Amino acid sequence: MITAAILTISDSVFGGTREDRSGSNLKQRAEALGWQVARQDVVPDDADAISDKLRDYADVDHIPVVLTTGGTGIALRDVSPEATRAVIDREIPGIAEVMRFEGRKSTRFATLSRAVAGSRGTTLIVNLPGSPKGAVESLDAIVELIPHVVDLLHGKTQHAESDSALRKQ
């Protein structure tokens, strides 16, 4: 079972002027996948607040998967990628590439996403878009990769027979 944290990054949600539909939709989707959502929080579009929360999830709570939603665009307050890069040990660019590629099937604006993914210790951190639909679609684009990444980050590097079957699909 995957254990995850969901971090909504939004000034308006943090300020109480807008409902957190993206975080709620992600939680619903994660639970439908059989995952346990251990934490769900909201922070403003502030790089230090985002980085601090990501460090806590990874270093204190030891949560294997952290999904952020929001702050991945090109507006001046969109700082999720920078905050994430400040805390990850290694970037995993292919994850973000897959999300943008699949997102392009729904909206041409997926190309503008600056989302990043990477690891901090044994925690996978993935930036997802702030739109409720885009967040879930992006998660769905990479959902089959996440258990394998978690296994690798936790030292389980043996490849099962089913891996070759997945590559052929």
pLDDT at 165 over 70: no
- Using alpha carbons, select from 18, 114, 10 the residue that is nearest to residue 70: 10
User: What pLDDT is recorded for position 158?
Assistant: 83
Encode pLDDT of 57-101 as tens digits: 999 999 999 999 999 999 999 999 999 999 999 999 999 999 999
Encode pLDDT of 36-55 as tens digits: 999 999 999 999 999 999 99
CA 50 to CA 85: how far, in whole Å? 11
In the chain, where are the structural domains located?
3-168
**Buried/exposed 114-138: b ≥16 CB within 10 Å, e otherwise:** bbbbbbbeebbbbbbbbbbebbbbb
- Using alpha carbons, select from 56, 75, 73 the residue that is nearest to residue 121: 56
CA 68 to CA 5: how far, in whole Å? 8
Q: Specify the DSSP class assigned to residue 17.
A: S
pLDDT at 164 over 80: no
User: What is the dotted CATH code of the domain comprising 3-168?
Assistant: 3.40.980.10
